[in-house]
Chain A
């Protein structure tokens, strides 16, 4: 699905990714974890072509992404901070994104699911953080792409929306899609993900299932397993 070979990226002198090799197979939910500044977002943005790597090759669905834009038709991306043009209405934004990609009717169901009808005619600049995130989720899930990338999808969501989001993720998984998630909410990661990838200082420290991680670190629960990696490496 996604294969990354020897990916290097630095911003000025700050080395963010230092030789990442990663293969993500088709189907299932993968969580990319790591402390702040470990390069999670940079990794995801490299897959999306928003960050240009200094070195390395990335293939998405068998296509090399260098100087390519059409492969993004097969990716749905949920950005970390929902920044939208503030003078646009929600309805107009949804229409515009559909116009830029492909037409779909899935947005109607999603709008109902997240109870966004009263906000359709409001401008995006006047929405609260959580509501913006819901719009963000609709824009991501309304297309039917084989690869879904979610960068901190839970930010600002209320408990009901969080449950809906989890259901939505499971639903997409059952269609055989590949889902890539980053999150700092460990309970969320533990609940949804099949496999985790742990990034530390620009390299992949661990890749495998949660039970493998627990065994490796000798910790009874997931949160402590992650914490033990961090304390062992920073002490």
Chain B
């Protein structure tokens, strides 16, 4: 698996898109810091951007990489390699290179700005951890979609729909259900609803850490009331881990049964 990972990673590092993605974060970090002049405010703005953009990039890159490397995959399948190591190697190659673009792209401007002397360092690190989680989650989901769809256009379509659903539509539905059923106790439902969406979960996680009640929203408040800040943090990190593990398990399962 490590060899496949090495080649996938190497392949991606040579591709233009990794640099575009890296440059985008670099620019974002610089602009935010020097226009804002306030580290903790920059972190909040960054959170809003990361929570939407990272899943989108993870999804699109994952699907694109899978379809583009089809030939490479077929070449590998005839070699004495396990299927699971071929696909996990490719998945990790994509997820790690995307995470690196994110961490380096955002990290560098913040380090130069004097992050290590500031007390926003933990908030910022948590932001990067969450971003990395989201990259791993959405790349895995994208691989799942691509593995299940031979047709490229369909695969892309489903991937975009998934992102749109989790990033935007889900919140709307969630809010509507809260309004519709406002006569009932909704704490449990809203907790459950948050856990089922990695994007919501990440937002709650970061806001719990930043401890900004105004932005916490209903679910965040429930989360805080139910679990307290520390336990809430641990629980949401655990849930994010589950969100990585489940799709990855499905990748290995699905790839074992697929015909090429």
B119 interface residue (CB < 8 Å to A): no
A-B contact count (CB 8 A): 61
Chain A nearest CB from B152 CB (Å) reads: 15
Residue of B nearest to A72 (CB): B80
Give the number of residues in A that approach B within 8 Å (Cβ atoms). Answer: 27
A119 interface residue (CB < 8 Å to B): no
| Cβ-defined partner of A50 (8 Å) among B69, B72, B77, B257 | B77
Pairwise interchain contact B81-A69, C-beta atoms closer than 8 A: yes
Residues of A within 8 A of B75 (CB): 79, 83-85, 97
Q: Tell me the residues in window 184-240 of chain B with beta carbons closer than 8 Å to chain A beta carbons.
A: none
Interface of B is mostly: helix
If A79-B74, A99-B3 touch, does A71 touch B14 (CB 8 Å cutoff)? no
Chain B nearest CB from A68 CB (Å) reads: 9
Pairwise interchain contact B11-A101, C-beta atoms closer than 8 A: no
Complex-state Cα separation, A101 to B81, whole angstroms: 9
Pairwise interchain contact A50-B71, C-beta atoms closer than 8 A: no
Complex-state Cα separation, A155 to B132, whole angstroms: 46
Complex-state Cα separation, A22 to B71, whole angstroms: 29
Q: Tell me the residues in window 155-199 of chain B with beta carbons closer than 8 Å to chain A beta carbons.
A: none
Chain B nearest CB from A228 CB (Å) reads: 33
| Cβ-defined partner of A79 (8 Å) among B70, B78, B81 | B78
| Cβ-defined partner of A96 (8 Å) among B7, B70, B71, B81 | B7
Residues of A within 8 A of B82 (CB): 69
Pairwise interchain contact B80-A101, C-beta atoms closer than 8 A: yes
Pairwise interchain contact B78-A51, C-beta atoms closer than 8 A: no
Give the number of residues in B that approach A within 8 Å (Cβ atoms). Answer: 24
A87 interface residue (CB < 8 Å to B): yes
Complex-state Cα separation, A70 to B80, whole angstroms: 5
| Cβ-defined partner of B259 (8 Å) among A11, A73, A84, A100 | A11
Residues of A within 8 A of B3 (CB): 99-100
> Interface code A48-59, partner B: CB below 8 Å = 1, 0 otherwise?
111110000000
Chain A nearest CB from B65 CB (Å) reads: 12
Pairwise interchain contact A85-B14, C-beta atoms closer than 8 A: no
Pairwise interchain contact B81-A83, C-beta atoms closer than 8 A: no
Pairwise interchain contact B260-A45, C-beta atoms closer than 8 A: yes
If A51-B260, A52-B259 touch, does A69 touch B74 (CB 8 Å cutoff)? no
Chain A nearest CB from B71 CB (Å) reads: 4
Residue of A nearest to B83 (CB): A69
Q: Tell me the residues in window 29-82 of chain A with beta carbons closer than 8 Å to chain B beta carbons.
A: 45, 48-52, 67, 69-73, 75, 77, 79
Residue of B nearest to A46 (CB): B259
If A79-B74, A83-B74, A87-B11 touch, does A51 touch B259 (CB 8 Å cutoff)? yes
Known pairs A69-B81, A84-B75, A86-B71; list 19 more (Cβ under 8 Å): A48-B77, A50-B74, A52-B258, A71-B80, A72-B78, A72-B81, A75-B78, A79-B75, A79-B78, A83-B70, A83-B74, A84-B71, A85-B71, A85-B72, A87-B14, A87-B15, A97-B75, A100-B76, A100-B81
